[in-house]
Amino acid sequence: MASRQFATFEVDGQLFGVEVHTVQEVLSYNEYTPVPLAPQAVGGLFNLRGQVIAAVDLRVQLGLPRQALKGPVMNVILRGDGEPVSLLVDKIGEVVDLDDERFEPPPDTLSGPTRELVVGTFKLDGRLMLALDVIQAVDTYRATN
């Protein structure tokens, strides 16, 4: 039976996951540089060991209020086609092994910006994990309305 590993995290109490092979690292960071005229979802830039990383606020991508960047904020650094990009999230979870047979398409009742970002769901013990489309999640130019 085929399985995949997901790195999990929470935004506004909802559990999300991305496939582990798309994650470079997970860290807490607290010094972000604002980017004037950038899309609303760009939370800022930060320096990670000499590399400038754009931080995309997943709350904004989901149609929620922007995260306050005061104090340490949790980052999921994703490997992109070009340079790494960070997703700003509320809370980091764990890495879980999930069987492909537990994968289900997004429910028809899922609507709004979240629908565009979710590729499917996995039922976990007492929770539902929404699997994110990494490319859509970091696309700050897509419509969020």
Q: Which domains does the chain have, with CATH numbers?
A: 3-137 (2.40.50.180)
- φ/ψ (deg, to 5) at 66: -60, 145
State the pairing for strand pair 3-11/91-99.
antiparallel
124 pLDDT above the threshold of 70: yes
What average pLDDT does this structure show over 94-118?
93
Round to whole Å and give the CA distance between 18 and 120: 11
Look at residue 134 and tell me whether its pLDDT is greater than 60.
yes
Within 8 A by CB and 6+ apart from 125, the residues are: none
pLDDT tens figures, 1-18: 799 999 999 999 999 999
**For tokens 């960070």, what's the residue?**
86
The predicted pLDDT at position 83 comes to: 86
> What count of residues does the chain have?
145
pTM of the predicted protein model: 0.92
Q: Rounded CA gap, 128 and 122, in Å?
A: 6
Least Cα distance to 49 among 64, 67, 29 occurs for 29
Residue 144 has pLDDT above 80, yes or no: no
User: How much is the pLDDT for 71?
Assistant: 79
Q: What is the pLDDT of residues 69-96, one digit of tens each?
A: 787 899 999 987 778 999 999 999 999 9
Q: In sequence order, what are the residues at sequence separation of 6 or more whose Cβ sits closer than 8 angstroms to the Cβ of residue 68?
A: none
Tokens linked to 8: 């999990």
Question: What is the tens place of the pLDDT at every residue in 19-65?
Answer: 999 999 999 998 899 999 999 999 999 999 999 999 999 999 999 99
